[in-house]
Amino acid sequence: MTSYFLKRVFYMALTLFGASILIFFLYALTPGDFVDTSPKLTAERKLELKAMYGLDKPVVERYFIWMKNALQGDFGYSLQYQQPVMSLLNDYIWNSFLLAITSTFFTWLIAISIGVLSAARQHSWFDALVTIGVFAAMSLPVFFVGLLFIKMFAVDAKLFPAGGMMTIGSKETGLAYAWDVVQHMFLPVTVLTLLSVGTLTRYFRTNMLEVIQQDFVRTARAKGLKEKVVLHKHALRNALLPAITLLGFELPALFGGAIITEKIFNWPGVGQLYMQAFSVRDYPLLMGFTMFLAILTVIGNLSADLLYRVADPRVRLK
């Protein structure tokens, strides 16, 4: 177990090293930077600024400087916001997390209940309807659904605000503030839930169908237990078990921000921050955030494997 863990950590470090090279050079080799694109600056001022930000040094040297700082948890200074990248991410990430955790909660709730129901009634019309719904959810172009929802529910029906996190200029506090945020969350959370619920429902349905066929379920039925008890107590627990690994894979999604959804709904999260940084070529912020995503992915994958072992001792890790 220890040697497995050490090997994994070594590969993680190697992968992240590769990712850092890729990320850095993709950005560094892009012509034009924050200083160049700013129209207001004179030529001398530009040179001065470049020297200040270290943009005048050779690319390879810049990589090692960036890397050295990154290892100490310092991803540099955002050029646009004039703030350390880490503190900027810290400011925005919790808004993203709020959105992601809410939609994850609803996704799992809906996916488990529908998945179990449709597995229990395999080949019924309900099951067929669920199957079509699952495919529809898997095929939705996220930006189109977002736009359509804004058009239908915010612009035409005026049921919900079109974007942002709170009403502009509102000075509400306490419960009124929370209610305001909830109203603004409704549409983006719905879109995010709709997008991920398809795959997960399918996953639970398949798991459930597999478990139902196993011997212990037959035993439970033979004992004369009610079908409800068999399904919800005996089968469901075993169908949920493998899903624990999914928690690991969810990690980047929870903190990484839903880039497109946040952009469309103007939600002040890291995804929105990222898209803004794109338009002004704020490279330290872009590199820092992309690297942050890569780290989350790697940690998520490792914890998925470890969780799988915890959930199912039959699994041997090599």
Q: Which residues bind other proteins (CB under 8 A)?
A: 11, 14-16, 18-19, 22-23, 26-27, 29-32, 131-132, 135-136, 138-144, 147-148, 151, 155, 202, 206, 210, 252, 256, 259-260, 274-275, 278, 281, 286, 289-290, 293-294, 297-298
Pairing verdict, β 77-78 and 83-84? antiparallel
Residue whose CB is less far from other proteins, 23 or 212:
23
> In 51-79, which positions are buried (b, 16+ CB within 10 angstroms) versus exposed (e)?
eebebeeeeeebbeebeeebeeeebbbbb
- Residue 46's Cβ-side half-sphere holds a number of Cα atoms within 13 Å equal to 12
Is residue 193 within 8 A of residue 106, CB to CB? The reply is yes
Residue whose CB is less far from other proteins, 59 or 182:
59
Residue whose CB is less far from other proteins, 26 or 59:
26
- CB 113, min distance to other proteins, A: 20
Residue whose CB is less far from other proteins, 94 or 143:
143
Per the listing, tokens 């850095």 go with: 24
Query: Whole-angstrom Cα distance, residue 316 to residue 252?
Result: 26
Per the listing, tokens 């002040």 go with: 268
- CB 221, min distance to other proteins, A: 22
Is residue 318 within 8 A of residue 309, CB to CB? The reply is no
- CB 59, min distance to other proteins, A: 14
84 forms beta bridges with 77
Is residue 204 within 8 A of residue 112, CB to CB? The reply is yes
Residue whose CB is less far from other proteins, 127 or 180:
127
CA 72 and chain centroid, separation: 25
Residue whose CB is less far from other proteins, 26 or 65:
26
Per the listing, tokens 């694109």 go with: 37
Residue whose CB is less far from other proteins, 145 or 230:
145
Is residue 11 within 8 A of residue 305, CB to CB? The reply is no
- Count of CB atoms situated within 10 Å of the CB of 211: 21
314 forms beta bridges with none
- CB 144, min distance to other proteins, A: 3
